[in-house]
Amino acid sequence: MNRPELLSPAGDMECLEAALRFGADAVYVGGPRLQLRAGSTGFSMDALAEAARRVHAAGRRLYVTVNAFPTNREIDALGDYGQALLSVGATRPSWRTSARWLRCAAPRRIWRCTSAPRPTA
Residue 56's alpha-carbon distances to 51, 63, 116, in angstroms, are 8, 11, 20
The whole-number average pLDDT for the span 87-109 is 59
Residue 37's pLDDT is 61
More confident residue, 91 or 114: 91
Q: Which residue has the higher pLDDT, 22 or 74?
A: 22
Check whether 110 has a pLDDT greater than 90.
Answer: no
Please indicate whether residue 31 or residue 102 has the higher confidence score (pLDDT).
31
Q: Break the chain into its structural domains and give their ranges.
A: 7-105
**Tens digit of each residue's pLDDT (9 = 90 or more) over 25-66:** 999 888 887 766 656 677 899 999 999 999 999 999 998 887
**pLDDT of res. 72:** 74
pTM score: 0.72
Say which range, 35-39, 71-75, 79-83, 113-117, has the weakest mean pLDDT. Answer: 113-117
Burial class from Cβ neighbours inside 10 Å (0-12, 13-18, 19+) for residue 97 reads: middle
CATH 3.40.50.300 matches 7-105: no
C-beta of residue 50 within 8 angstroms of C-beta of residue 13: yes
| SS3 at position 28 | strand
